[in-house]
């Protein structure tokens, strides 16, 4: 039996792990042990996902959060290393681009344990983003790179990965697996549409440091959302950190702010909204999964195929660009029936690969 230690710590990773863990459970030859670093720790950002999505309970919870990038990553590295020495797994599986991802990959590689990186090869080419550094370093330490798109493969090839002892596997996007699976039951599990009395509305999120650390940038984004809210209600499930910054600087949001929501609530918001506006990488894709256009509130995106195919526009924090993108998508019709991300089979490819690796 192969032992796989999965390391997760943030909301998007919970969603991805739910899809892959469900597939892993189908095979007796694979035993999964989950480490939760605690990077996202409160109920709305963590526990609700384990309950709703029936993710196996973590065998370990490091409860590491609220620290600087260096301190957080260092403490995670130390904690994960101790567990890996005890568990002696065949593989360590990491997801995405968080501090938890980097710490897990680094701990495993130092101990000569094979690393599988799910959602590898993505690049924003913005080296000021901590996520960009995390994903580049994690890719370089990994044994198998599970990539979601052809663009991700091209990125890796441009960086010389053909010359490295690394296997590149295009599997699609495990978040689409989760979206398709849980969309069948979200309506029974969530009452958020009726609770908030929503009809036609725009769904928006804001949390990236590039948007929240610079108050001028954040002010422009708030202004843009306020203007759009004057035409159609804007609903923003707000990250606790962003909410705190708004209060500290007395930034006036005229749109509807809610606490962070669980996955079923988010699916229902996606199903019923008219448009998505976000700086989240995951939500850009989830908008596509539920056939909604997206305005990307960043200066670049890793999901370039969404822009190339006309499903998303990159507007950054430019108020005029945001307003123009809103007007552009107001009546735009698109055919979303295109296979960009594996059509729900991404997790199965991962598991089949690990069975024979």
Q: Which two tokens stand for residue 139?
A: 């890719």
Residue 117 annotated in active site: no
CA distance 112 to 109: 5
Per-residue tokens: 330: 């107001």
Query: Is residue 314 within 8 Å of residue 126, measured between CB atoms?
Result: no
Catalytic residue among 36, 40, 117, 207: 207
In the numeric block, the tokens 């499903």 are attached to 311
Active site residues: 207
């Amino acid at each position: 039996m192969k032992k796989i230690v999965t390391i997760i710590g943030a909301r998007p990773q919970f969603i991805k792990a739910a899809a892959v863990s469900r597939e892993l459970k189908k095979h007796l030859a694979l035993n999964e042990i989950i480490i939760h670093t605690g990077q996202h720790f409160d109920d709305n950002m963590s526990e609700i996902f384990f309950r709703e999505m029936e993710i196996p309970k973590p065998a370990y919870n490091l409860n590491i959060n609220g620290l600087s990038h260096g301190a957080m990553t260092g403490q995670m590295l130390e904690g994960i290393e101790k567990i890996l020495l005890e568990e002696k797994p065949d593989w360590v599986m990491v997801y995405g681009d968080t501090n938890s991802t980097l710490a897990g990959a680094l701990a495993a590689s130092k101990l000569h344990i094979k690393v599988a990186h799910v959602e590898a090869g993505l690049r924003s080419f913005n080296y000021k983003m901590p996520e960009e550094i995390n994903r580049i370093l994690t890719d370089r330490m990994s044994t198998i790179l599970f990539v979601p798109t052809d663009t991700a493969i091209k990125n890796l090839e441009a960086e010389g990965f053909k010359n490295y002892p690394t296997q590149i596997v295009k599997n699609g996007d495990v978040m689409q697996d989760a979206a398709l699976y849980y969309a069948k039951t979200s309506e029974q599990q969530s009452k958020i549409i009726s609770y908030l009395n929503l009809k036609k509305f725009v769904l928006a999120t804001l949390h990236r440091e590039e948007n929240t650390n610079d108050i001028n940038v954040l002010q422009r984004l708030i202004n843009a959302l306020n203007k759009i809210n004057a035409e159609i209600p804007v609903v923003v499930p707000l990250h606790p950190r962003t909410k705190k910054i708004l209060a500290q600087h007395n930034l006036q949001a005229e749109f509807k702010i809610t606490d962070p929501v669980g996955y079923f609530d988010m699916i229902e918001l996606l199903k019923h909204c008219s448009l998505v506006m976000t700086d989240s990488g995951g939500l850009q894709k989830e908008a596509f999964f539920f056939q909604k256009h997206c305005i990307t509130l960043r200066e670049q995106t890793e999901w370039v195929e969404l822009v190339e195919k006309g499903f998303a526009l990159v507007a950054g924090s430019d108020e005029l660009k945001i307003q123009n993108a809103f007007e552009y998508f107001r009546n735009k019709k698109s055919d979303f029936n295109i296979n960009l991300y594996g059509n729900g089979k991404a997790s199965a490819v991962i598991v089949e690969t690990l069975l024979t690796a």
